[in-house]
Amino acid sequence: MQLFSIQTPNSPVVPAPPPTQGVRSQCHILVIDDDPPVRQAFTWALQDLDCLVIAAATLADALAQMTRMEFTPDAVIVDFHLEGGVSGFDVIHLLRRLFSVDLPAVMITGDAPSATPMSG
C-alpha cells in the first residue's frame, strides 16, 4: 500500500500517517464449492481483482487451509448444496460463530427449478 500526502495551494502540508501493523492490501476470500471448475473460475476471477483466495471442496478442507495459512476471510462464497448433505447456510453460520463476526457471504447454486414451458 502506498501512502502519500496532498497539498493544495492554501493548505499546510499534512504528512501521511505511518503504516499500521496488520493492514492488509488484499481482500481475503474463502470459496467453498464441491465442483472443481466452479472453484477454479472463482479463484481466477478473484485473483484478477487482487484477492487472496482459499478454495476448498469441503468445510474441513477450508478450515485446514485457513489454519495452515493463518488466513482470516473478509468474505465467503459457498455453494448451497455441498457433498454429504451439508448446507451452505450451515457453513456460513459456523464460520460467523468461529470468527465472531457477521462475515459477508454469498450463496451460489447450480440447482435450477424445473422449468415450466410458457404458453404463447
Give residue-wise pLDDT tens across range 53-103: 999 999 999 999 999 999 999 999 999 999 989 999 999 999 999 989 899
| pTM of the model as a whole | 0.73
Residue in the block written with cell 465472531: 100
Q: What is the pLDDT of residue 26?
A: 83
State how far the Cα of 40 lies from the Cα of 50, in Å rounded to an integer: 15
Which comes out higher in pLDDT, residue 17 or 32? 32
**Which CATH number fits the domain 27-108, given the four candidates 3.30.465.10, 3.40.50.2300, 3.40.50.970, 2.40.180.10?**
3.40.50.2300
Average pLDDT, the chain: 82
Q: Where are the domains of the chain?
A: 27-108
Q: Which residues pair with 82 in a beta bridge?
A: 86
